[in-house]
Chain A
Amino acid sequence: MTILFLASCAQLHHVQIGEIDNHPKFVQKPFDIKLSEVGVDIQEAGRITKALAGKDSNNEAKKIADIIALFQMGPRTGHPVYTKGYAKNLIQLIYEKCPSGRVTGLASIRETRKYPVVSGEIVKLTGYCLLPKGG
């Protein structure tokens, strides 16, 4: 039971690979950045509440889930998160990892780690920082 609750399923939403510069005058130092925010599956929470609560509470739970769902319309990947700007500092984080700004082979991955009711909404970046040889 514990394994069932703790095991996560990884769902891939988007992959993008950027230009790759193999310039012989530079060495490539790999880096990776991972940003994550908790997503909530309101529908699943509603279903669990329905299963656990009595009949009267069933309808209330469904109504609440439906009302919240009305405010979460539109295209999206994964489940809604309640911190909208969790990935906005990505560029700043890249500069921290690679102060020269010479970045290559940047792969950006958007994925979801699904657990019961909650999920990890992840943005992952891997890339290489170009450093001058002997510098």
Chain B
Amino acid sequence: MKKLFISTLILTLFLSSCASVNSVSLTPIPAERGNKVFTTASKTIFLGFNFDNDFIDQSVEDLKRQCPNGKISGVLTKDENINYFLYFVWKKQITVTGYCQKYAAETTTGKK
């Protein structure tokens, strides 16, 4: 029983995490909110050794792929830290959501 308790305690300590929000930003939200796009980028950092933040760069490309011939508005960018066991390991996570509004077919073909 004691062993089980200690094992559970250790496991909980290792697996539990604390999340904190670093920053949030939002652009104007469109009236049409039917097509939601979403991307997330993260990086695991061990003992604070982090030499670049290039993991963010793919986010815009990712969103663009999800909305070809359209405009993404209402972009919510959430930058958060997720800390694991005693802050030895943490994860920087950027979550971006937005709404894709496709341009009308006439516009894409160039007709008026």
A residues at B contact (CB < 8 Å): 7-25, 105, 107, 109, 111, 126
CB neighbours of A19 from chain B (8 A): 27-28, 71-73, 75, 98
By beta carbon, the residue of chain A nearest B52 is A10
Contact B107 A17 (CB under 8 A): no
Q: Sort A-B residue pairs by CB-CB distance and give the 4 closest, nearest first.
A: A16-B25, A20-B72, A14-B23, A105-B60
Which of B56, B70, B103 has its CB near the most chain A CB atoms (within 10 A)?
Answer: B56
Within 41-57 of B, Cβ neighbours of A (below 8 Å) are at 48-53, 56-57
Least Cβ–Cβ distance between A40 and chain B, in angstroms: 20
Give 4 A-B pairs besides A9-B48, A10-B50 with Cβ atoms closer than 8 angstroms: A14-B22, A19-B27, A20-B67, A21-B71
Question: Is B64 a contact of A109 with CB atoms below 8 Å?
Answer: no
**Least Cβ distance of A54 to chain B in Å?**
32
CB–CB A22/B60 < 8 A:
no
**Chain A contacts of B27 at CB under 8 A?**
18-19
Please name all residues of chain A whose beta carbon is closer than 8 Å to the beta carbon of B110 when the two chains form the complex: 25
What is the minimal beta-carbon distance from A76 to any residue of chain B, in angstroms?
14
With CB as the reference atom, state the residue of chain A lying closest to B67: A22
- Residue A20 contacts which of B60, B79, B94, B108 (CB distance < 8 angstroms)? B60
Cα–Cα distance between A20 and B100 once the two chains are bound (Å): 9
* Interface contact A22-B69, CB-CB below 8 Å: yes
B-to-A contact residues, CB < 8 Å = 22-23, 25, 27-28, 48-53, 56-57, 59-60, 63-64, 67-73, 75, 77, 79, 92, 94, 96, 98, 103, 107-108, 110
Determine chain A's interface SS by DSSP, over half rule: strand
> Shortest CB–CB separation between residue B41 and chain A, in angstroms?
9
Q: Which residues of B contact A111 (CB under 8 A)?
A: 53
Distance, CA A111 to CA B98, complexed state (A): 24
Complex alpha-carbon distance, A107 and B57, angstroms:
8
Does the CB pair A17–B59 fall under 8 Å? yes
- Of the candidates A9, A18, A22, A24, the one having the most CB atoms from chain B within 10 angstroms of its own CB is A22
B50 and A11: CB pair below 8 A?
Answer: yes
* Inter-subunit contact A23/B53 (CB<8 Å): no
Return the chain B residue nearest A105 by Cβ. Answer: B60
A109 touches B53 (CB 8 A): yes
Q: Which residues of B contact A107 (CB under 8 A)?
A: 56-57, 59-60
- Specify which chain B residues have a CB less than 8 angstroms from the CB of A109 in the assembled complex: 53, 56
